[in-house]
């Protein structure tokens, strides 16, 4: 994808090593750095996509020396790398690691950081380009950016670029998102800000654009005339583990819907952009978010479902209820599950519901987008044994097995007219092999190229929170009375099934391969399905 950042455009060519730069990681001693960032950067180094003139400066409160940091990262990469380590390549990488210890609120730290970056530029030839990655608690985002600005470390001069990457959450409600955007915008230009969502690093998410707009057979039927409804499922097997303290302040709605799920919905529903330039893509995504009909308080009660997992059995083992997890209140009202029906008020999607659900401690870890098409008329088959024709489905699997499946009906051989589901399945690994990936490689590479297409713009963030805010308000005013309301190891509370049943529809079982009747291979009809 083309870059919208004019700095060093001639050097920022996709598929080639990025331009020389230093990467500063705030929170370098934390979990995200060792589990995701370092393995991803190492994978870029192995793929020869990092420039030779490259360095990493780790910044954290822990009192490490640079040698301590290099040793720690070497130990961590051995544990968390997706495949074996090429030690010769790692040695090249490790010699480009530096470390600074200090308090993120202390101006002295940033003075030292400026001196270290000058040293790194001299030793590694980074040419003054710098990527600041905030792998910290969100409370530090405005603090670090303000300090970087005060120390003049974000100033762009001539061809030198400075960019700042922040991890979700981008605020915890609409007001805080607006405040965060204001704080960032006070120091940085919008083109310097990269709001990262690792879901967009997955190949199938990026392939949504290619699938829709590079294939003439799908886009003509991608509208209300042919599509009955769309389902988005983001299910996690894990509970909150040791993240109870954070999750108590977030919950499933804040944690997943304004970012991960809305990104999937906008890429699935957006109009064709005039190009793949970042602003052109973001403009169309923002239009979708603004077209989502806001839920009134009455509709929140009818169209949104919240849940919290209780104890249950998974893989033959007992797992505790959410309220029994570490750092969780014994009477917690925090939802670990959300389902809702949304409607996009535009010409393409009027009358087509978009159902979404996400939750923890569900049956299986899986993320998918399901496009369910309208049924064909049955009149042609009125004198046959066919009682009902299942709808065609297009299933876009994002994790854990990335691929696309299309189901359609075919006649079963024999003298009697019977229909059976046929599936055309595409798996990325079958066609293109597997590439070691944490989900961050593409995103970090794009940051270095100056391509913000796969990142959220300020107005997108605020438009997403504007959709979620009415639900937050109603749920805050009316605490749930039935928590916990689904068992660990299930697909969520019964109310989520009723949400679709009221409209004659049902959730697709995400574990089922292929189309609606893959299990039986025959179209015998299905109760509760909308005609």
pLDDT of residue 489: 95
| Burial class of residue 26 (count of CB atoms within 10 Å of its CB; 0-12, 13-18, 19+) | buried
2: in domain: no
User: Taking Cα atoms as reference points, which of 523, 311, 290 lies closest to residue 418?
Assistant: 523
278: in domain: yes
Statement to judge: residues 360 and 486 lie in one domain: yes
Chosen domain end from 167, 186, 220: 167
| Residues belonging to the chain | 531
Statement to judge: residues 144 and 272 lie in one domain: no
Please give the Cα distance from 450 to 189 (Å, whole number).
13
Statement to judge: residues 246 and 138 lie in one domain: no
Statement to judge: residues 229 and 273 lie in one domain: yes
150: in domain: yes
Statement to judge: residues 214 and 272 lie in one domain: yes
Statement to judge: residues 358 and 287 lie in one domain: yes
pLDDT of residue 8: 39
pLDDT of residue 51: 92
Tell me how many domains the chain contains.
2
pLDDT digits (tens, 9 = 90+) for 164-220: 999 888 999 999 999 999 999 999 999 999 999 887 777 767 778 888 988 888 999
Of 46-50, 149-153, 512-516, least confident by mean pLDDT is 512-516
Cis status, amide bond into 420, omega within 30 of 0: no
How wide is the angle at C-alpha 166 spanned by C-alphas 118 and 175, nearest 5°? 130
Please give the Cα distance from 382 to 433 (Å, whole number).
46
Statement to judge: residues 236 and 314 lie in one domain: yes
Q: What percent of the chain has pLDDT over 70?
A: 90
Statement to judge: residues 356 and 473 lie in one domain: yes
379: in domain: no
pLDDT of residue 459: 96
Please give the Cα distance from 56 to 97 (Å, whole number).
5
pLDDT of residue 87: 83
pLDDT of residue 7: 39
Contacts of 482 by beta carbon, 8 Å cutoff, 6+ apart: none
Q: Could you tell me the two tokens for 235?
A: 């299910």
For residue 353, the domain's CATH number is: 3.30.360.10
Residue 260 annotated among the catalytic residues of the structure: yes
pLDDT of residue 387: 63
Q: Is 206 or 236 the better-scoring residue by pLDDT? A: 236
Statement to judge: residues 207 and 162 lie in one domain: no
292: in domain: yes
Which position has the token pair 């040293």?
A: 119
Statement to judge: residues 120 and 67 lie in one domain: yes
pLDDT of residue 418: 66
pLDDT of residue 385: 62
Q: What is the pTM of this model?
A: 0.88
Statement to judge: residues 129 and 237 lie in one domain: no
User: Taking Cα atoms as reference points, which of 354, 356, 314, 316 lies closest to residue 339?
Assistant: 356
Question: Has residue 148 got a pLDDT over 70?
Answer: yes
Please give the Cα distance from 459 to 217 (Å, whole number).
33
- Where is mean pLDDT largest: 11-25, 310-324, 405-419? 310-324
380: in domain: no
pLDDT digits (tens, 9 = 90+) for 393-452: 999 998 888 888 888 777 778 776 667 777 888 887 777 766 657 779 989 999 999 999
Q: Supply the mean pLDDT for the chain.
A: 88
pLDDT digits (tens, 9 = 90+) for 326-373: 999 999 999 999 999 999 999 999 999 999 999 999 999 999 999 999
User: Taking Cα atoms as reference points, which of 493, 479, 509 lies closest to residue 338?
Assistant: 493
pLDDT of residue 379: 55
Active-site residue (options: 172, 198, 260, 518): 260
What's the domain range around 303?
201-374+456-501
For residue 109, the domain's CATH number is: 3.40.50.720
370: in domain: yes
pLDDT of residue 380: 62
Question: Has residue 531 got a pLDDT over 50?
Answer: no
Statement to judge: residues 297 and 230 lie in one domain: yes
506: in domain: no
């Amino acid at each position: 994808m083309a870059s919208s950042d004019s700095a060093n455009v001639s050097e920022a060519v996709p598929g080639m090593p990025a331009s020389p730069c230093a990467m500063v990681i705030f929170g370098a001693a934390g979990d995200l750095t060792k589990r995701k960032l370092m393995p991803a950067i190492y994978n870029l180094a192995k793929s020869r996509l990092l420039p030779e003139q490259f360095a990493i400066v780790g910044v954290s409160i822990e009192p490490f020396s640079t040698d301590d940091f290099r040793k720690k990262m070497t130990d961590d990469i051995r544990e968390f790398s997706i495949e074996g380590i090429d030690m010769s390549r790692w040695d090249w990488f490790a010699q480009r690691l530096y470390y600074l210890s200090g308090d993120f609120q202390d101006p002295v730290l940033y003075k030292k950081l400026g001196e270290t970056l000058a040293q790194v530029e001299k030793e590694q030839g980074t040419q003054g380009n710098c990527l600041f990655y905030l792998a910290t608690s969100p409370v530090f985002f405005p603090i670090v950016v303000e300090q970087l600005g005060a120390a003049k470390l974000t100033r762009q001069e001539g061809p030198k670029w400075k960019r700042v990457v922040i991890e979700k959450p981008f605020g915890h409600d609409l007001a805080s998102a607006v405040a965060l955007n204001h704080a960032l915008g006070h120091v940085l230009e919008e083109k310097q800000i990269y709001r990262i969502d690792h879901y967009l690093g997955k190949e199938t998410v990026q392939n949504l654009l290619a699938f829709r707009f590079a294939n003439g057979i799908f886009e003509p039927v991608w509208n209300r005339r042919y599509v009955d409804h769309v389902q988005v499922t983001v299910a996690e097997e894990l509970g909150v583990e040791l993240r109870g303290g954070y999750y108590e302040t977030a919950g499933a709605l804040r944690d997943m819907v304004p970012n991960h799920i809305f990104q999937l919905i906008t890429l699935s529903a957006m109009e064709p952009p005039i190009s793949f330039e970042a602003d052109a893509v973001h403009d169309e995504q923002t239009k979708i978010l603004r077209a989502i009909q806001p839920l009134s308080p009455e509709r929140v009660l009818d169209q949104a479902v919240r849940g919290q997992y209780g104890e249950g059995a998974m893989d033959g083992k007992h797992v505790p209820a959410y309220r029994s997890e570490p750092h969780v209140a014994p009477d917690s009202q925090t939802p670990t599950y959300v389902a809702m029906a949304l409607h996009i008020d535009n010409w393409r999607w009027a009358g087509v519901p978009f159902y979404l659900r996400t939750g923890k401690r569900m049956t299986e870890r899986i993320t998918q987008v399901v496009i369910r098409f309208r049924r064909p008329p049955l009149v042609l088959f009125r004198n046959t044994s066919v009682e009902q024709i299942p709808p065609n489905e297009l299933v876009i699997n994002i994790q854990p097995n990335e691929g696309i499946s299309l189901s359609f009906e075919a006649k079963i051989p024999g003298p009697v007219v019977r229909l059976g589901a046929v599936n055309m399945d595409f798996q990325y690994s079958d066609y293109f092999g597997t590439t070691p990936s944490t989900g961050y490689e593409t995103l970090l590479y794009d940051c270095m190229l100056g391509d913000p297409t796969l990142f959220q713009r300020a107005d997108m963030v605020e438009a997403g929170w504007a959709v979620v805010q009415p639900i937050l308000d109603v749920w805050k005013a009316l605490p749930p009375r039935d928590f916990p309301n689904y068992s660990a190891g299930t697909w969520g509370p019964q109310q989520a099934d009723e949400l679709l049943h009221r409209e004659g529809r049902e959730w697709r079982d995400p574990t089922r391969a292929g189309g609606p009747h893959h299990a039986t291979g025959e179209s015998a009809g299905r109760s509760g399905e909308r005609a």
